[in-house]
Amino acid sequence: MRLDGFVIPEDGNMADARDIACALGARDEARRIGNVLRQVARAGVRRVAICANGCTDGTVAEARRVSDTLGLELTVVEFAQALGHDAPRAIAAMEAWRRWPDSTAVFMMDADWQGGFGPMLADFLEDALRHPGAITGVWGRVRAAEIDRHWHRLVCRAGAPPLLRPFLLPHFIPLSVFLRVSPRFVASPGLFFALTRREGIPWRVYEAWDGRLMGNPSREAGAQATVLDLLREDARAAEIALFSGSSHPPPLWPGRRDWRAVEAWMSCIRGPNLRRRHHDLV
């Protein structure tokens, strides 16, 4: 049931942050995961799914310790080998859906954010809950101007807000979206954006988000170059999915991501109420 844009559960109580699950991919974030979980708790979220992405530094133990202190519900999926960029969030999103199918939505963020961003996150989630039929993202720019222009043209052509950059976090995704587009595609932000738009699912932008409040985790030059390559490949994959005229997903799994591991893990489980359609199987 809905009233004035809010989700109203059957018991008549309006949905809030406690009805949302957080999905995190984390690789060797033992020094930062505690702050991230504390800020998530400040925002009112009580459910957290983590995909431990080849961690070797005690990230999982620290996450469990902090979660116990905060009274969070925590579920962890561990992979011995790193899956690459974005793929761990796909695993975490699927695990959140499987573990808490009664949740209103899942939201995704990075596990290395710093600073006291909890109140801003609370505002983001409150705003997103007012638009329960849409995926809510944030605005931003890519420092590489040609890549940013490419994404700007892509989102405009797809009928999304011009400021949106679908690869930037956080994302608020209503769980109903996963009945139409498999969470496996979260492993490629470009494909996920394209397939959700192809299904007619709207995207919106929360313009009050200020990325400066999460600190600025430094990346080596090689890591920055890898991210730019991923953004190029994801943009091409999104264009194929949206504008090639095919009724099927593109035969392209972009980026240096371990798609085989994602597929193998998802083939071993089943989410709730899955529609048995071609590209929605998990």
In DSSP notation, 242-264 reads HHS--SS--S---SSB-HHHHHH
Query: What distance in Å separates the CA atoms of residue 189 and residue 167, rounded to the nearest whole number?
Result: 5
pLDDT of residue 262: 84
Tell me the CATH number of domain 2-267, given options 2.130.10.10, 3.30.420.40, 3.90.550.10, 3.30.1490.20: 3.90.550.10
**Average pLDDT per run of 10 along the chain, which is 282 residues long?**
40 78 96 97 98 95 98 97 90 96 96 95 98 96 92 98 96 97 92 96 97 69 80 91 72 69 79 42 34
pLDDT of residue 17: 94
Indicate the burial class of 75 (C-beta count within 10 angstroms; 0-12, 13-18, 19 or more). middle
Q: Is 72 helix (H, G, I), strand (E, B) or coil?
A: coil
Global pTM?
0.87
pLDDT of residue 270: 59
**Which of the 8 DSSP states describes residue 17?**
G
Q: How far apart are the first and last CA of the chain?
A: 28
Q: Is 87 helix (H, G, I), strand (E, B) or coil?
A: helix
pLDDT of residue 245: 74
Ordered DSSP codes for 111-172? TT--SS-HHHHHHHHHHHHT-TTSEEEEB---SSHHHHHHHHHHHHHTTS-TTB-TTSS-EE
Question: Checking phi first, is residue 5 left (phi over 0); if not, alpha (psi -120 to 50) or beta?
Answer: left
SS3 content of the chain, % helix, strand, coil (to 5): 40, 15, 40
pLDDT of residue 278: 34
